Structure 1
Amino acid sequence: MLLICAIWGGNFVVTKLAVDHFPPVLFTALRFALVAILTLPWLRWCPGQMRNVIIAALCMGTLHFALIIIGIAKADDVSVVAVVTQLGVPISTLMAVLFLGERVRWKRSLGIALAFSGAVVISFDPKVMNYQVAIGLILMAVIIFSIGQITVRRIHDVNTFTMQAWVGILSAPSLLLISLLLEDGHVEQTLSASVWHWGAIAYAAVLVSLIGHGGAYYLLRRYPVSIVNPGFTLAPIFGVLAGVFFLNEQLSGRVILGSAITLLGVLIVATREGKVADARGVAPEKAALETKGAGD
């Protein structure tokens, strides 16, 4: 659990350093191209499921990552980004209420309220006010990811690595097209990339997508969701610490307070979500897919 959260938390710093060289969407396209290559053995046609698989892959891959990578590139502090991305947990819960008719009792309602209250506290920090556009893009990204999660809940008998393969196959070319339309300097930046820049792509594809999400799947197959899911809230803590240690980021009292409130709310929602999932007997494959956004 600690290894997975450390990998996911470190990804915010690795990504920030990578997009200082690569055009952001191009970096993400290269990441998913590598994911597609590595997961090709698991690629399967899913009869009767492909419509939802394609929608989920485009939401959780192309659209989500195009927005979030541009947001990271525009933000000064990855620590704030790491916390804001966790709003995907309460947002996905609200989506489930709206579109799946799930019921939310007072504890999860309290958690949702705390999560958004913490985000409001963070957003009024004077330094954070300078990159409200970045936070707006990241919020759009987590909303789209939540739509992808809702779609995933309608998919049956598709395992995590098959879904990862479809995300890679569909996202790599679509992200490359977006990059060609919106960005420039592709050839120059690719040819001038150092081994560290290529290492960042490998980190995102191998450690985050395969080992991180594969490890989450491994844990969820062996332990109750109510135990595993709350542990994933450690990922933004590692992200904040990595930003402070490697990028010399300075955290104001308002950001620290807002982050603590948000993460407390996320922890409450994740704990209650896990208990509900255990009671419903949610399949490990589906639970693993629903945790995928933790570290992107």
Structure 2
Amino acid sequence: MKLTDFFIMMACCLAWGGNFVVSAWALGNYPVPPFMLAAIRAILVLLLMGWVLFQTRPEKVGLLLIVCACVGPIHLGFLYTGLQTASASGSSIISQILIPFATLLSVAFLGERVGWRRSLAIIGAIIGVVIMVYEPGALRFDIGLIYIIAAYFALAVGSVVMKRVGNVDWKQYVTWMALVVLIVMAPASLVFEAGHAQIWAEAKGPLLIAAGYAAICVTILAHGQYFRLVRAYDISQIVPLTLMTTVFACILGVVFLKEQIYLRYLLGAVLILPCVLYIARKQTIVIIPED
């Protein structure tokens, strides 16, 4: 890998890690509702990239829309709901469950094989997740992190279905996804979230900062470069580097949000990250990046 491309990939991971922090800051400290945030993010993407919708229509639009639904409104709905209570650092560690999920789904639906070593790595990662989400003494699980797990299961489904879509330009992918997000999230916000005018008056700044950061830095810039690198290099070179997203998110969460790194987070990370790194080295499907 060229040194410049390595640093570009690190910049993508920094952008994705920062998205956990910015979203957790806006959703956890201000009256910013998750569906409204997702809808405004989609509007900003369409304002900047909407012209792509008028270009040549991609092949297999039906499958593309399924991918967009999983990666867009389903993933973002669970992700932003979870980040209302879950920490950015804990969420970023949990997000690595995407790779074991995608591996299991690729076995079930794409006919890929998983050897005993990868099977042990998947089991280890899942045990690490259970350690992280369980709250000792409370006899319950951290509901915010449960939502994050659901978000990344949806993302894994989208990643596997994307293998059936074929070669889709990144501009078409992000633009069609934004359109699906807007179609679903705008009505959902009107139905399930109230007081939009008051929210706009009280939290317009954090709402626009979080939506703008996610639209420009994550959806357009980071995703665009990621798909360029996926075409240029082997997946086995690219996917393991995405583990740096967790590192950046944890550092930024502690520095800017004064988050506490619980012992169960460290124990979970000790199991999850090495297991995911091993799985990623053998991974062949395209993993859609963090949102």
2:67 paired residue number: 56
User: Which has the larger displacement, 163-172 or 17-26?
Assistant: 17-26
Q: Unmatched 5+ residue regions in structure 1?
A: 278-286
Could you tell me which of 86, 89, 101 is aligned with 2:96?
Answer: 86
Other-structure match for 1:280: none
Shift of 1:260: 2.2
Equivalent residue for 1:200?
A: 210
State how far apart, in whole Å, the 1-side matches of 2:259 and 2:139 are: 16
1:216 aligns with 2:213: no
1:12-51 equivalent positions in 2, closer than 5 A: 12-19=20-27, 20-43=30-53, 44=55, 46=57, 48-51=59-62
Q: Distance in 2 between matches of 1:199 and 1:127?
A: 37
Tell me the distance in 2 between the aligned counterparts of 1:156 and 1:21. Answer: 40
The residue number in structure 2 matching 1:183 is: 193
Q: Is the 8 A contact 1:16 1:73 kept in 2?
A: yes
* Alpha carbons 1:229, 1:291 under 8 Å: kept: no
Letter in 2 for 1:69: Y
Write the deviation string for residues 196-223 of structure 1: whole angstroms up to 9, x where unpaired.
Answer: 5422211110001111111212222333
Structure 1 CA distance for aligned equivalents of residues 94 and 186 of structure 2: 26
- Whether contact under 8 Å (2:26, 2:210) holds in the other structure is yes
Query: If the length of structure 2 is used for normalisation, what is the TM-score?
Result: 0.89
CA separation in 1, counterparts of 2:89 and 2:276?
Answer: 16
What aligned pairs does 1:258-273 form with structure 2 within 5 A after superposition? 258-273=268-283
Corresponding residue for residue 110 of structure 1: 120
TM-score (norm 1): 0.88
Alpha-carbon distance in 1 for matches of 2:194, 2:266: 37
Match of 2:288 in 1: 291
Aligned to 2:3: none
Instruction: From 71, 80, 83, give the equivalent of 1:69.
Output: 80
Equivalent pairs, count: 280
**How far 1:224 moved relative to its partner?**
2.5
Q: CA 1:242 to 1:130, structure 2 compared with 1: closer, same or farther past 3 Å?
A: farther
Q: Is residue 115–residue 263 contact of structure 1 (8 Å, CA) maintained in 2?
A: yes
Change (3 A) 1:191 1:173: farther
- Give the counterpart letter for 1:3 in structure 2: A
Distance 2:183 2:120 in 1: 41
Q: CA deviation at 1:48?
A: 4.8
CA distance in 2, matches of 1:128, 1:215: 43
Alignment pair present for 1:154 and 2:151? no
8 Å contact kept, 1:12–1:82: yes
Aligned partners of 1:106, 1:39: CA distance in 2, in Å? 44
Conservation of the 8 A alpha-carbon contact between 2:59 and 2:165: no
Is the contact between residue 18 and residue 27 of structure 1 (CA under 8 Å) also seen in structure 2? no
Name 1:10's counterpart in structure 2.
18
Answer yes or no: is the 8 Å Cα contact 1:46–1:158 preserved in 2.
no
CA spacing shift, 1:120–1:165, aligned 2, 3 Å: same
Does 2:264 align with 1:254? Answer: yes
Deviation at 1:10, TM superposition (A): 0.9
Match for residue 134 of structure 2? 124
Cα drift, residue 185 of structure 1: 1.7
CA displacement 1:178-201 (0-9 Å, x = unmatched): 111111121111233354542221
Partners of 1:127 and 1:233 in 2: how far apart? 31
Query: Aligned-pair distance for 1:127?
Result: 8.6
Q: Give the match's secondary structure for 2:261.
A: coil
**Following the alignment from structure 2 to structure 1, what is the Cα–Cα distance between the partners of residues 138 and 249?**
17
Relative to structure 1, the CA distance from residue 22 to residue 123 in structure 2 (aligned partners, 3 Å threshold; closer, same or farther) is: closer
Say whether residues 1:99 and 2:109 are aligned partners.
Answer: yes
Q: Which moved more, 1:46-55 or 1:227-236?
A: 46-55
The one-letter code sitting in structure 1 at the alignment partner of 2:224 is G
Looking at structure 1, the residues matched to 205 and 90 of structure 2 have their Cα atoms a distance apart, in angstroms, of 28
1:230-245, aligned counterparts within 5 Å? 230-245=240-255
Conserved 8 A contact 1:23-1:186: no
Contact 1:111–1:267 (Cα < 8 Å) also in 2: no
